[in-house]
Amino acid sequence: MDVLSNLALGFGVALTLKNLAYCFLGVFLGTLIGVLPGIGPLVTIAMLLPITFGLDPVSSLIMLAGIFYGAQYGGSTTAILVNMPGEVSSAVTAIDGYQMARQGRAGPALATAAMASFVGGILSTLLVAFFGPLVGRWALEFGAAEYFSLMLMGLVFSAVLSHGDLVKALAMVAIGLLLGIVGTDVTSGLPRFSFGIPELLDGVGFTVVAVGLFAVSEIVLNLARNEKVEVFAKDVKNLMPTWADMKAAAMPTLRGTALGSFFGALPGITASVAAFSAYMLEKKLAKDPSRFGHGAIEGVAAPEAANNAAAQTHFIPTLTLGIPASAVMALMLGALTMQGIQPGPQVMTSKPELFWGLVASMFVGNTLLLILNLPLVGLWARLTQVPYRWLFPAILVFACVGNFSLNNSAMDVYLCAGIGVLGYVFAKLDCQPAPLILGYVLGPMLEENLRRALLMSEGSFAVFVTRPISLAFLVVTALILLAMVLPGLRRRRESAVEASAG
Amino acid sequence: MKPGLLDNRDFLAGLLFAAFGAGGFWVALAYPFGDLQQMGPGFFPRALGLILVGFGLVTMVRGLRSGVPVEGAWGWFPLAMLTAAIVAFGWLMEHVGLIPSLVVLVVASAYAGKEFRWLEVAILAGVMCAMAAGIFIWGLGLPYPLFAFEFGR
C-alpha cells in the first residue's frame, strides 16, 4: 500500500528524537500561550514564528503545526473557563462549555473538549494521508489558468465567510493583494511600492504583517474595552466525564469530525464555520434543542471535534495546492516560503519527508496534546487567571524582538507599528483582517499565474473559461457571489454569523 | 438620527479603501503597463487600485445610506502609547542594546494599560529581559549586545 509506506517514511521522520522534541515543544508552548486569555492561535503563531526560523524546514513545520493545534486547544480551555475565546472557532465551544463550567462541570467539559479534539484530529489526519496525495496528483495537471481561478475562488470564499459586510471583506482582500505586491517584481526586477527603503525590496515581512494586524491591534482593542469576566478556574475537579456524558458525546464527536474534515478541505472556509455548522447540526438533531446554550455536552463535543478536524484537513489545500485555507494556514505557508520552499503540488513529490513527516507528526502531536492536557488541566486553568496587564507587554516583547530579528533592522519594527495602527483602525471600522492576510500571501502567486496564463493565451481572457477545471472554479465562485447577493440567503448568513459570534 | 461623517463606520471604511486604491493606482502609474499578453509590472497594481476605489465608493455610499456609527470609543491613548513604545524599541535596539530597549518597551506599553503599578511593571520588565536574553541571545544565538552605546555611527 502506497499510503502505508509513505506513512512509514513519515513516522521515521516524525519519531526522531529531535522532531519529537520540537513537536512536544510546539504543542506545549502553543497550549501555554493559547490558554492565556485573549490570545488566539493567530497571535500565538505570529509571536512564536521567529523562533522556528532557525530550524530545518521539516522541524519548523512540525513545531508550527504543534503550536497551532496546541493554541487551538488552549483557546478552547479559555473559552470554557473564562468565556473569553481567543478566536471565533472557540466562541462556539464557549456557548455551552462556559455554561457547563458555571454549573460546576468545568472538568467534564474540558475533558470532553480534549477527547473530541483528539478523535477529530486523528480521524481527519487519516483523511489528509489518503486524500492529500490524490489532490496533489490532480493538481499536477493544473496550469496557470487553473491556479488563478482556484486562488480567486479561495479569496472570494474567505471574503464571503468572514464576518460582516461582503464588499468590505472583498476590499480587504484587495488591500492584502496590494500589500503583497510591495517588493521587487519577479519578472521585470523593478522594485514596486518600496519608496526607496531597502528593507522593502523583499516585500513587507510577513511576521510584520501578522503581528501588526493580529497582535498589536488586538491589544489596543482589548485595552480600550472595559469588561469584567467571571473565572471558574477553582471549580476544576472531577475531571472525568461520566459514562452517560461519554455516550452523549460520542456521536456528536463523529458527526463534528465529518463536517469539520469536509469544510476544512475547502480553501477559504475557516474552522469557525465548521465548528458553527457542527453546533447547529447537533441542535437540529437533539431531542430537546432547548438544552443547547445551557450546558449541553454535545454542544462542546461537536464543535471541538469539527474545529480540530478542520484544523488538520486545512493542510490538504495548503500543502498540496499551495493555497492557504485560513489565516493560520497563510502563516504556515509564509513560514515555508521563508524556509525557501515554494508550496504547491510538487512539494509532495520533491519533499516527501516534509509532507509525510508532517502528517505523521499530526498523529504524534494530537496524542501528545491529549497526554499533556488531561493531567495539566489544573495548571492551564490557573493560567487563565493571569491578568491581561502582565500579558500584553510580554506579547509585545516577543513580537518586537522577533520582528527586529528578521533583518536585524529597526525598519521592520517601525512597519509593524504602522500596520498595527492600520489594523486597529480597520478593526474599529468593522473590516476583518483575515481576508487581508490571505490576499497578502496569495497576491504574488495570483499575479504571477495571471501573467503566465495571459502570456500563453496571447492576451485572451477566454483561457479561464475554455479550460474545464478553471471554468468549474469560476462557476463556483460566481454561484457563491450570486448566492450572497440574493436577499433571502444573505439574511440567513447574517443571522448565522451573529449567532456564531455570540 | 444619522451619525456625522466622521462617526459613520462604513463611510470611513470606504474612504480608507478608496484612498488606498487611488494611492496604489497613482504610484503604479510610474511602472510600465505592458499589454494583456505581456503584463508589465504596472498592470496588476493599477487594476487592483481601480477595483479598490470601486469597492471604496460602494462602501461609502452604503455607509451614507445605513448610517451605522463606529462602535465604542476610539482607544487613541493606548494606540498612541503602544505605537510609541514599539517605535522607541526599534530605534533603541540600534543604539543602546537589548536590555534598555526592552525596559523602555515594557514600561511604556504597560503604561498604556488601565492599571499601572510600578513594582509589578519593574518585576515584569526584569522577567522579560531575562527571558528575551535567554531565548533570543543564548537560545537562538542572535547577535545583539545586551548593552551598547552606539550613537556615533
Q: What is the pLDDT of residues A203-248, one digit of tens each?
A: 787 778 888 887 888 888 888 776 555 555 555 666 677 777 777 7
Is A21 in CB contact (< 8 Å) with chain B?
A: no
Whether B153 has its CB under 8 Å from any CB of chain A: the answer is no
Any CB–CB contact under 8 A between A11 and chain B? no
Out of A187, A392, A404, whose CB is closest to B109? A392
What per-residue confidence (pLDDT) applies to A501?
46
Of A173, A212, A159, A89, nearest to A437 by C-alpha is A173
- Which among A423, A437, A445, A443 is positioned nearest to A178, based on CA atoms? A443
At which residue does the C-alpha cell 510577513 appear?
A206
Range picked from A101-110, A485-494, B32-41, B75-84 for highest mean pLDDT: B75-84
Q: Which three cell numbers stand for residue A349?
A: 513529490
CA distance A482 to A471: 16
3-state secondary structure B29-45: CCCCCECCCCECCCHHH
Distance CA A150, CA A267 (A): 9
Task: Cell numbers for A278, please give them.
Answer: 457542527
Instruction: Report the b/e string of A156-192 with b at 16+ CB within 10 A.
Output: bbbbbbbbbbbbbbbbbbbbbbbbbbbbbbebeeebb
Average pLDDT over residues A342-356: 79
Lowest mean pLDDT among A19-28, A115-124, A235-244, A345-354: A235-244
- Cβ of B86 and A417 within 8 Å? yes
Task: Give the single-character DSSP code of A351.
Answer: -
pLDDT value of position A35: 82
Region A73-94: what's the mean pLDDT?
74
Element (H, E) at A183: strand A183-184
Look at A178 and B48 and tell me if their CB atoms are within 8 Å.
yes
- The β-bridge partners of A184 are A191
Mean pLDDT, chain A, integer: 81
Determine the length of chain A: 502
Q: Which chain A residues are within 8 Å of B61, Cβ to Cβ?
A: none
Q: Which chain A residues are closer than 8 Å to B38 by Cβ?
A: 455
Q: Please answer yes or no on whether A171 and B91 come within 8 Å at the CB atom.
A: no
Contacts with B106 from chain A: Cβ below 8 Å: 393, 396-397
Residue to substitute from A185, A406, A413, interface B, most B β-carbons within 10 A? A413
Q: List the single residue in B39, B83, B89 with the smallest CB-CB distance to A454.
A: B39
A224 touches chain B (CB under 8 A): yes
Is the predicted pLDDT of residue A116 greater than 70, yes or no? Answer: yes
Asked whether A73 and A114 are in contact (CB, 8 A), the reply is yes
What's the number of domains chain A is made of? 1
What is the extent of the structural domain holding A130? 2-501
Q: Is the pLDDT of residue B136 over 50?
A: yes
Q: What is the pTM of this model?
A: 0.82
A228 in B contact zone (CB under 8 Å): no
ipTM metric:
0.91
